[in-house]
Structure 1
Amino acid sequence: MPASTEAPPPPPSRVHRLSRWAGPLGYGAAFLLAPKSLPPEARHVLGVAVWMVVWWVTEAVPLAATSLLPLTLFPLLGVASPQAAAAPYAHQLIFLFLAGFLLAAALQAWNAHTRIAYAIVSRIGFEGRRVVLGIMLATAFLSMWISNTATAAMMYPIALAIGALLGQSKEAHTTRTALMLGVAYAASIGGMATLIGTPPNLIFSAFVEQSTGRTIGFGQFMAVGLPTAVVLLPLCWILLVYVAFRHHASIPAEAEEVIARRRTALGELRGGEAKTLAVFTLTAAAWLLRAPKDFGVVRVPGLTDLAPGISDATIGIAGAVLLFLLHTAPLEERPRRPLLTWEEARTIPWGVLLLFGGGLSLAAAMESTGLTSWIGQHLEILRGLPTPLLLLGLAITVLALGELASNTALAAMAMPLVASLAVSIGQPPLLLLLVTALAASTGFALPIATPPNAIVFGSGQLRVRDMVRAGLMLDVVAVIVVVVVVSLLFPIILG
């Protein structure tokens, strides 16, 4: 075997080495300091939860590796059988997210995202503020169906290329800054709109189904998530181009011709790209039409009327399998190939699926051992707090923690705790959990807050102070929008 040409990973820092020990030490401290009235199994789960939180927050080991701890520790500690510990890793909603990843990989393989981005920018216009709006609309739309991270990674090179056409004036620099921040922020905002848009949304749905038996369908979540994104995205654009960065350059006429040539170079929509977009469109439509819609006077039938057992995961996996089954025509591509190859599928972030499973396994153990009830009893001091104030405080807390930790890990940690809080103070758990899920996507101020922030910051086109200045203002707007929209729509859609 030839030697690898890749550079070896850097050695772990002193902080990471200490954090590796802090996890198991945290387990021991939590187990020993927990009140003896708590059953031993619950004390073990509390210790494992502390261990996982420490490693998730510090990333002493990869997030996915930390998520495997329940598979080993719960059977060893007598908390759960191997079968019970492993079952959440095969939750049906994990396969829904797997399907979303595979659809995204196919769109990326056929360069469909570039066609969508250039089409939207060309229709919105080439004045500086309009360019920012066009890029943000394209990014948000893609992020509804593709992970935030993948969307930001696909869109920031396009934003860079468009920004390079603006020239070197002070106004051009301002527009480039707004463009890059627009990609990061729109990726997070678009992900809030759908169940598969970002991991916290799916963690919310999976936790609700696991703990209550209630299924939150794709259409149900979108009925709340999409209005949240629709309200927040234009407010984000206004904040970026009229408040944080006010003076903008327009793309010159000759640069418009460059964009037109790039669109022309993509050719007509045909072959593998057309088939992939068709599969994507049919899958998205099936998600929206799965459950029947009752509007009082009119009832629109759904796919479950024909097949009662069908779920969003069923639809998603069917769409993903189609990508492997359908091939390009012999005369279009040589050699003939499927719409998605396994080599392309292997590039999806498999570790995120393990993180889902680890969080669900931990939550199931907390519930079965009575730990969630015990935590809830200690949160009853919040009973009587006005609901709007409670939701605002919860959203701010989640946002603040999300600026410093992975929003996926944060959602996995927070769901069982928030559910306990809701039960103990007499609030609908679903309401608080939904606010938690959406607020987990609202970290905009720091490069480490979300993967999209980190990706665009890594481009070298941004200063930290620019992101902090715009991000803090957007953080304030975002928590208010989340609380207001959820408060208005929850009783109608999910109440």
Structure 2
Amino acid sequence: MKLLNYALVYRRFLLVVFTILVFLPLPLIIRTKEAQCAYILFVIAIFWITEALPLSITALLPGLMFPMFGIMRSSQVASAYFKDFHLLLIGVICLATSIEKWNLHKRIALRMVMMVGVNPAWLTLGFMSSTAFLSMWLSNTSTAAMVMPIVEAVAQQIISAEAEAEATQMTYFNESAAHGLDIDETVIGQETNEKKEKTKPAPGSSHDKGKVSRKMETEKNAVTGAKYRSRKDHMMCKLMCLSVAYSSTIGGLTTITGTSTNLIFSEHFNTRYPDCRCLNFGSWFLFSFPVALILLLLSWIWLQWLYLGFDLQETRRLFPP
């Protein structure tokens, strides 16, 4: 038992030693450059999968092992670590850090929300547009990580506001029914809004009772494991989160700096065809921007139909003839 505890404590060290020794017969027996390269490949792959060493250290192992086995010279390995697109990626990371520090992404996203309103369809399109714009200049991962908390906060605020409005309308309905009054359902929403703007409920009032009921409902959902009030709220949160993921990928297609795959392709294309100077930032943007715009609109329509559906009356209201 004590030996097992020691093995669990030093499991990473044992994994490193075990991996190096298990594959060591490969270069010792075959004695070719291909076998030595395969040995390094297997060792680095296992270190990456198991994270026996930190990923940054594992990524630097070729700079040590390739010259040690005579596969490549140190100058060749070092030049591979400092290509143009690597330095460009470092610049993109610095840009993303500065944007996150000064909350520029929040300003852009919230300004878009103020422009489109709180309708889920237009709100999703606004978030997708702002996310795609940010992803044009930043990496997809950085953009999604910065915008996702904003989307989640806005979605929770919309759900809370709808719950409060429903509780207020229900309270108004119960009070009117208790006094034997006729209820005109068409003016409930207007009176509810006027009530919220002009009056502040006193302690112990029916509004407080509505808050207590909402609190009890939230506690009940927490006990049963349900995070959302209804299936519609759940679908809306799914819609907004997936829209950020898709739009960050679509926006990354627009520019060369949008994602690392574009940079790698550009580097290999310019290396393989040095006489062809047709691939640059402007030509890439002119070719990819219409494609990205079409993909963004189609993704918005598809996600809207898949998770919220299209109500005919709502569609006519959003797109009047």
TM-fit CA distance, 1:41: 2.4
1:107 to 69, 90, 99: 99
1:203 partner letter: I
1:183 to 229, 244, 254: 244
The number of aligned residues is 233
Question: Quick check: 1:231 aligned with 2:223?
Answer: no
CA contact (8 A) 2:118 2:158 kept: no
Change (3 A) 1:226 1:48: farther
The CA distance in 2 between the partners of 1:225 and 1:63, in whole Å, is: 33
CA contact (8 A) 2:96 2:138 kept: yes
Q: How does 1:401-480 map to 2 (within 5 A)?
A: none
TM-fit CA distance, 1:170: 3.2
Superposed CA offset, 1:296-333 (max 9, x none): xxxxxxxxxxxxxxxxxxxxxxxxxxxxxxxxxxxxxx
Question: Quick check: 1:151 aligned with 2:212?
Answer: no
TM-fit CA distance, 1:12: 8.4
The CA distance in 1 between the partners of 2:54 and 2:125, in whole Å, is: 36
Where in structure 2 are there 5+ consecutive unaligned residues?
1-7, 160-228, 312-321
The CA distance in 1 between the partners of 2:75 and 2:269, in whole Å, is: 21
TM-fit CA distance, 1:189: 2.5
Quote the residue 2:208 is aligned against: none
Query: What is the SS of the residue equivalent to 1:95?
Result: helix
Change (3 A) 1:114 1:70: same
TM-fit CA distance, 1:73: 0.6
Quote the residue 1:67 is aligned against: 59
The CA distance in 2 between the partners of 1:231 and 1:188, in whole Å, is: 13
2:134 partner letter: L
Question: Quick check: 1:46 aligned with 2:35?
Answer: no
CA contact (8 A) 2:235 2:307 kept: no
Question: Quick check: 1:56 aligned with 2:117?
Answer: no
Change (3 A) 1:127 1:166: same
Quote the residue 1:311 is aligned against: none
Change (3 A) 1:28 1:68: same
Quote the residue 1:427 is aligned against: none
2:235 to 174, 185, 209: 174
The CA distance in 2 between the partners of 1:26 and 1:200, in whole Å, is: 34
Question: Quick check: 1:199 aligned with 2:263?
Answer: no
Question: Quick check: 1:91 aligned with 2:83?
Answer: yes
TM-fit CA distance, 1:200: 2.3
Query: What is the SS of the residue equivalent to 2:257?
Result: coil
TM-fit CA distance, 1:30: 6.3
Structural RMSD (CA): 3.3
The CA distance in 1 between the partners of 2:41 and 2:264, in whole Å, is: 17
Change (3 A) 1:46 1:209: farther
Query: What is the SS of the residue equivalent to 2:138?
Result: coil
Of 149-158 and 229-238, more deviation after overlay is shown by 229-238
TM-fit CA distance, 1:212: 5.3
Superposed CA offset, 1:410-465 (max 9, x none): xxxxxxxxxxxxxxxxxxxxxxxxxxxxxxxxxxxxxxxxxxxxxxxxxxxxxxxx
Question: Quick check: 1:119 aligned with 2:111?
Answer: yes
The CA distance in 1 between the partners of 2:126 and 2:257, in whole Å, is: 23
Quote the residue 1:76 is aligned against: 68
1:40 partner letter: T
Quote the residue 2:120 is aligned against: 128
2:231 partner letter: K
1:198 partner letter: T
Change (3 A) 1:45 1:219: farther
TM-fit CA distance, 1:76: 0.3
Change (3 A) 1:190 1:105: same
1:78 partner letter: G
Change (3 A) 1:115 1:30: farther
The CA distance in 2 between the partners of 1:23 and 1:211, in whole Å, is: 37
The CA distance in 2 between the partners of 1:218 and 1:91, in whole Å, is: 18
2:304 partner letter: V
Query: What is the SS of the residue equivalent to 1:240?
Result: helix
Change (3 A) 1:198 1:157: same
The CA distance in 1 between the partners of 2:303 and 2:121, in whole Å, is: 9
TM-fit CA distance, 1:205: 2.6
The CA distance in 2 between the partners of 1:138 and 1:48, in whole Å, is: 43
2:95 partner letter: L
CA contact (8 A) 1:146 1:197 kept: yes
Query: What is the SS of the residue equivalent to 1:165?
Result: helix
CA contact (8 A) 1:171 1:247 kept: no
Aligned-residue identity in percent: 33
The CA distance in 2 between the partners of 1:210 and 1:18, in whole Å, is: 42
More helix by share: 2
TM-score of the superposed pair, with normalisation by structure 1: 0.41
